[in-house]
Amino acid sequence: MFASVVRWSRTTYRGARGSGPGRSGKTDARSSPASRPTEVIAAHAGRTFKRAQRGLYDGKILQFGNSVPNSRHKTARRWAPNVQNKTLWSETMQTWVRSRFATSALRSIKKHGGLDQYLANTKDTHLGEFGRNLRDRLARTLRERRLNES
């Protein structure tokens, strides 16, 4: 068989040279920071998605994209945060806090040395509505304790 026939005997069409992902103007425009999903922009602005109102998600949100196999046939998919139901002890409030925690939040809590220290030292954008409310409860408990002591 001739070398030219073997070289060009593909069973699937892979497009012209230079037409792969990231080569066209459309792909570049969609992946620019200006075209991010509104959930990402909202999370960075301090407003989180609804699920974060029920637990500590450490700034994690739902993300959307495509599953792209070798055939380049794109299928829409989503990436959800790894969320676990846990019960953690709060030293300040002397109670167990049962909630949903992203695994990244659990790691951060462990690194900070406990739930109270995590709530005290974490930005509002990473805490979400539930975390901010929990931090307010923590501060209220501390204030009441100090008033009772004096």
3-state class of 16 per DSSP?
coil
Q: Residue 25 is which amino acid? A: G
DSSP character for 53?
G
Q: pLDDT higher for 48 or 137?
A: 137
Specify if 8 maps to a domain: no
Specify if 103 maps to a domain: yes
Buried b (16+ CB within 10 A) or exposed e, 13-30: eeeeeeeeeeeeeeeeee
Count Cβ atoms below 10 Å from residue 116 Cβ, excluding itself. 22
Q: How far is CA 109 from CA 47, 62, 115, 126, in A?
A: 21, 21, 6, 12
Q: Which of 11-25, 54-68, 79-93, 121-135 has the lowest mean pLDDT?
A: 11-25
Q: Can you tell me which residue has the tokens 């301090």? A: 46
- The CATH number given to whatever domain includes residue 126 is 2.30.170.40
Specify if 12 maps to a domain: no
- Per-residue pLDDT at 111 exceeds 90: yes
Specify if 50 maps to a domain: yes
- Per-residue pLDDT at 143 exceeds 80: yes
Question: Over the stretch 68-93, which tens digit does the pLDDT of each residue have?
Answer: 999 999 999 999 999 999 999 999 99
Report the pLDDT averaged over residues 21-29. Answer: 50
- Per-residue pLDDT at 19 exceeds 50: yes
